[in-house]
């Protein structure tokens, strides 16, 4: 692939925050007309307003913990990352966390805790969470580690601090892989991009725990691979309705029903389309389309934003959007630090 430029790092981290902030308006809505999406996004162009008035939610709050932890330790440290998650939650519990994960975050605060993975294992009668909370904060792993094995390994471990079901943590692996590939220009060849994701996930889902979870939850043998095949089928179609995307891929809070959907949003919006204003670039199209799906809009737009931002770079992101979204300027600064870490590690440092 092409060298991962600073612009791509900035695009990825900033567009993830924007997706979360602008997506919050529609989270949980069943139907979201494109007109309402465009009206909402249009309000971000009023230069007389702004200064972070759209607040970020749990997606960004936890991603910021991931970023700070990776930078502080120049690598993955599970104790530190777990501590940051619980501190962040107790400082700002009103960021819209999932109703299950808050129990993990409270237990992670205990000084007596010796195994930081244990609270997540106890969730949902010992099955663990399959929510998308691990995936929504997985993009920074792709921005910190240049080699694909580390991206997979640490995205998985980082997610397992709260999500011990493979349908949760493998969603994080898939999201981090998509950002990793996009960072290297892989979206220039969309068919190859999706085929590479399928090949990687074939290996990830061959794991015994993944097979067991899929069987218990009555999912396909390799659930993420199966969904990625659906993404590929939808990509090949000249016209796809919002309803078909929702029924084939989902728009819900489970990682399985949202990570492949986010990947589809990026692929579907690679070219201009009639439903978007002509002035829209790729990041704006991707975020607008993610919102129009309804459901878990902040998280789907956050994940799609990260993948799209890594492809188009910071130049594709409107300055006024950055001004309106809490944490977007911080994300831009952190992207520079992650870029440095990534290049140091790629030179064996
Ligand atoms: N939680 C939300 N949005 C809805 C509420 C918003 C808030 N109350 C408000 O209005 O301000 N958004 C955020 O949550 C998602 C990420 O959730 P996460 O971190 O995965 O949480 P959790 O609790 O682990 O899982 C989410 C739900 O999925 C179901 N679930 C998961 N595993 C399950 C299992 N093994 N068996 C049965 N159900 C399982 C449960 O309903 C969980 O509560 C993001 O959208 C983020 O934006
Ligand atoms: Mg959220
Ligand atoms: Mg959400």
142-199: per-residue pLDDT in tens? 999 999 999 999 999 999 999 999 999 999 999 999 999 999 999 999 999 999 999 9
Decide: 100 in ligand 1 pocket, CB within 6 A: yes
Please report whether residue 185 resides in a domain. Answer: yes
Please report whether residue 58 resides in a domain. Answer: yes
Which ligand is located closest to the Cα atom of residue 254? 1
| ipTM for this model | 0.96
Q: What pLDDT, on the 0 to 100 scale, is given for residue 45?
A: 87
Distance between CA atoms of 298 and 56, rounded to whole angstroms?
A: 9
Please report whether residue 107 resides in a domain. Answer: yes
C-alpha 150 to ligand 1 mean position (Å): 27
pLDDT, tens digit, 9 for 90 and up, residues 300-313:
999 999 999 999 99
C-alpha 252 to ligand 2 mean position (Å): 12
Tell me the two tokens of residue 182. 């996009």
How many structural domains is the chain composed of? 1
- Alpha helix ranges (H) inside 24-138: 34-42, 58-73, 78-91, 101-107, 118-121, 123-126
CA nearest ligand 1 atom 18, residue: 133
pLDDT, tens digit, 9 for 90 and up, residues 282-293:
999 999 999 999
Q: What pLDDT, on the 0 to 100 scale, is given for residue 233?
A: 97
Q: How many CA atoms lie within 13 A of 213 on its CB side?
A: 23
Please report whether residue 1 resides in a domain. Answer: no
Q: What pLDDT, on the 0 to 100 scale, is given for residue 349?
A: 67
Split at pLDDT 50, 70, 90, the class of 2 is low
Q: What is the CATH number of the domain that holds 266?
A: 1.10.4080.10
Please report whether residue 174 resides in a domain. Answer: yes
Percent of the chain topping pLDDT 70? 98
Q: What pLDDT, on the 0 to 100 scale, is given for residue 48?
A: 73
Tell me the two tokens of residue 25. 């308006």
pLDDT, tens digit, 9 for 90 and up, residues 13-29:
999 999 999 999 999 99
Please report whether residue 27 resides in a domain. Answer: yes
Decide: 104 in ligand 1 pocket, CB within 6 A: no
Q: Any long-range contacts for 234-237 (C-beta under 8 Å, 24+ apart)?
A: 234/264, 234/268, 235/190, 235/191, 235/194, 235/264, 235/267, 235/268
Tell me the two tokens of residue 267. 């692929």
Decide: 27 in ligand 1 pocket, CB within 6 A: yes
Percent of the chain topping pLDDT 90? 94
pLDDT, tens digit, 9 for 90 and up, residues 120-144:
999 999 999 999 999 999 999 999 9
CA distances from 286 to 104, 267, 280, 283, 324 (A): 32, 9, 10, 5, 18
Ligand 1 pocket mutation, candidates 97, 252, 261, criterion most atoms within 8 A of CB? 97
C-alpha 102 to ligand 1 mean position (Å): 9
Strand partners, 325: 54
pLDDT, tens digit, 9 for 90 and up, residues 256-286:
999 999 999 999 999 999 999 999 999 999 9
Residue 225, domain extent? 6-346
Decide: 216 in ligand 1 pocket, CB within 6 A: no
pLDDT, tens digit, 9 for 90 and up, residues 44-73:
988 777 667 999 999 999 999 999 999 999
The helix (run of H) or strand (run of E) holding residue 298 is helix 297-312
Instruction: For tokens 């240049």, name the residue.
Output: 146
Decide: 98 in ligand 1 pocket, CB within 6 A: yes
User: Over the chain, what is the mean pLDDT?
Assistant: 96
Tell me the two tokens of residue 240. 């796809």
Q: What pLDDT, on the 0 to 100 scale, is given for residue 1?
A: 53
Please report whether residue 124 resides in a domain. Answer: yes
Q: What pLDDT, on the 0 to 100 scale, is given for residue 4?
A: 85
Q: What pLDDT, on the 0 to 100 scale, is given for residue 261?
A: 98
């Amino acid at each position: 692939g092409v060298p991962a430029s600073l612009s791509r790092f900035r695009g990825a981290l900033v567009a993830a925050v924007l997706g979360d902030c602008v997506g919050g308006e529609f989270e949980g809505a069943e139907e979201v007309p494109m007109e309402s999406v465009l009206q909402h996004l249009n309000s971000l162009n009023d230069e007389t307003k702004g200064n972070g008035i759209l607040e970020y939610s749990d997606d960004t709050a936890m991603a910021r913990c991931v970023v700070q932890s990776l930078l502080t330790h120049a690598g993955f440290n599970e104790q530190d990352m777990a501590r940051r998650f619980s501190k962040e939650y107790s400082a700002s519990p009103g960021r819209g966390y999932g109703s299950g994960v808050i129990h993990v975050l409270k237990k992670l605060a205990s000084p007596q805790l010796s195994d930081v993975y244990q609270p997540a294992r106890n969730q949902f009668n010992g099955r663990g969470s399959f929510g998308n909370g691990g995936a929504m904060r997985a993009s920074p792993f792709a921005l910190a580690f240049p080699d694909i094995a580390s991206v997979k390994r640490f995205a998985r471990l980082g997610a397992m601090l709260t999500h011990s079901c493979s349908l949760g943590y493998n969603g994080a692996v898939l999201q981090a892989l998509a950002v990793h590939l996009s960072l290297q220009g892989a979206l220039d060849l969309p068919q190859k991009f999706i085929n590479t994701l399928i090949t990687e996930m074939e290996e990830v889902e061959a794991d015994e725990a993944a097979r067991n979870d899929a069987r218990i939850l009555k999912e396909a043998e390799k659930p993420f691979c199966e969904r990625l095949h659906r993404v590929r089928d939808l990509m090949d179609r000249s016209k796809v309705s919002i309803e078909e995307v929702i029924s084939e891929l989902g728009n819900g809070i489970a990682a399985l029903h949202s990570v492949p959907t986010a990947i589809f949003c990026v692929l579907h919006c690679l070219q201009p389309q009639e439903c978007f204003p002509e002035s829209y670039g790729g990041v704006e199209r991707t975020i607008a389309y993610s919102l129009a799906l309804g459901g878990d809009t902040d998280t789907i737009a956050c994940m799609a934003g990260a993948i799209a931002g890594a492809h188009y770079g910071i130049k594709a992101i409107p300055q006024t959007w950055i001004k309106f979204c809490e944490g977007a300027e911080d994300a831009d600064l952190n992207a520079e630090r992650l870029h440095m870490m990534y290049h140091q590690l790629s030179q064996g440092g």
